[in-house]
Amino acid sequence: MKIFNINLLKLISKIPFRQYSGEYRIYHFPGFANTSNKDNVGEKKQKKLHISKTLGAASGISDTLTAQNSAPEHAIKSSPTKKSFTNLLLEGTTVVTNTNSKSPSGECAEKKVEKKPDKSKCLRAVPRLKWVNELPEDCRAKKTDIPTVKLRDGYVMPMFGLGTWLSPSAKVEKAVKHALKVGYRMIDCAHAYENEEAVGKAIKKSIEKCIVKRDELFITSKLWNTFHDPHLVMSACRQSLCDLNLSYLNLYLIHWPMGYRAGDELIPYDACGRVIGTRVDYVETWKAMEELVARRLTRSIGLANFNKHQIERIWKIAKIKPVVNQVECHPYFNQKRLMAYLKKKGIVLIAYSPLGAPARPWVKKDEPNVLHDNLIKTIAFNTGRTPAQICIRYQIQRGNAVIPKSVTPSRIESNFDVTNFELSDEEMKIIDKLDKKIRRVSLSMLANHPHYPFNDKF
């Protein structure tokens, strides 16, 4: 019997056990940074995740969220390392949440991240930097007549501006300088676009050349998903201010309601290509956003990609109510129900991808294209306009702000020329009926995240 017990203990000791590590493996994005490793073990090794441009769509998610409700103790003290963000859509990944325990052979270990250059010097210098906010006294900047909308906090926002998502840094500086020269006064930015430094250079040079005054500009940036932990919000905002070379923002948004684990990468992932998420509640994040207004780092705060239920949760606890919700909106996805709800709340809808995001990297052949729609083209022909101008004007007449993206000078000029014509009521109704409920930026690979916004109807 003693020999039997000894053998039994030896057998049990060889059985591998998986211990819960306070993480949750959220979703699997097929093809998203999943490549086979050359190791003998045969584990999957993820490509570097390039996130700079936007949030794309992929499908298929594995595992379930079971993460802890707080960010890891090693939360970053400086900004995350720049990586390219487009492949978040083109490839697949999985979401986890803090892999703290050593995984046995054959399982996914946490990917080791090399130590990145410290950018905290810029953050520490923010209060002492010499900001180029005002023109010299002898400068007279060009005045522009742009439709505006008054936000619920009293500030005035232009009804349309220049989007910078998917704009490479090498081109976005020239694009922003040209847009400001043409007459644009609203520039939409985000940390995740990885081009804020180039945008900042364009703004600085434009102010120095007497093209525009700082107080005439409306600059927006966004809090990225790895900064949802309340104690990281201020450092994230300061990093965008540092990159943009500004002393304050006009508007700062929570980019998405879903949070990722804090760290040095825009999208943290494990060796199996699974995104490491966090269950930090965006309600707590919002409270930290309010502190930014008190510190005068931003004048207004708002949301992006939030649904009705999520906005209601923030509305109940907010000392400072959100002034905008920036969402995808175009003739094939007109957001009619969400728009009606936002108007009742006094929240302005900002339409991104107003042209249907025809240049997004994951575009499929033979899919419906807003700019090629026969009815849009007919209205454009009858009014002597371009299909893009029709789509932009459509949003303005609905009372929505709109931020079309372009780095081509001729298109930047054309998109700006939307104030001297109007669509008739009949034309507006025709465009309203084009709604196909087609969402181009869905991040469907994150559908298992507890804060994924697009499982609700609106």
The per-residue pLDDT for range 54-85, each reduced to its tens digit, is 333 333 333 333 333 333 333 333 333 334 45
Summarize the confidence of residues 291-320 as an average pLDDT. Answer: 98
CATH code of 146-455, in short, is 3.20.20.100
pLDDT of residue 239: 97
The pLDDT tens digits for 249-261 are 999 999 999 999 9
Model confidence at 300: pLDDT above 50: yes
What digits encode the pLDDT tens for the residues 110-130?
Answer: 555 555 545 555 654 444 334
For β-strands 259-260 and 249-254, DSSP reports them as unpaired
- Of the chain, the end-to-end C-alpha distance in Å amounts to 66
Provide the residue ranges of all domains of the chain, joining segments of one domain with +: 146-455
Strands 401-402 and 348-352: parallel
pLDDT tens digits along 418-453: 999 999 999 999 999 999 999 999 988 888 889 999
Q: 420: exposed, middle or buried (C-beta count within 10 Å: 0-12, 13-18, 19+)? A: exposed
Residues 6+ apart with CB under 8 A from 294: none
Structure tokens at 278: 């966090």
Would you please indicate which residues are annotated as catalytic (active-site) residues? 193
* Percentage of the chain modeled with pLDDT above 70: 69
Instruction: Print burial letters for 17-46: b (CB count within 10 Å at least 16), e (below 16).
Output: eeeebebbbbbbbbebbbeeeeeeeebbbb
Rounded CA-CA distance 422/446 in Å is 39
User: Whose CA is closest to 93, among 224, 222, 260?
Assistant: 260
Of 253, 313, 263, the residue nearest 284 (C-alpha): 313
pLDDT of residue 103: 40
Residue 181, burial from CB neighbour count under 10 angstroms (0-12, 13-18, 19+): middle
Share of the chain above pLDDT 90, in %: 62
The size of the chain, in residues, is 458
pLDDT average, residue stretch 190-205 = 97
pTM of the full structure? 0.78
Q: CA nearest 332: which of 349, 347, 354?
A: 354
Rounded to whole angstroms, what are the CA distances from 226 to 70, 171, 307, 420?
A: 12, 27, 20, 42
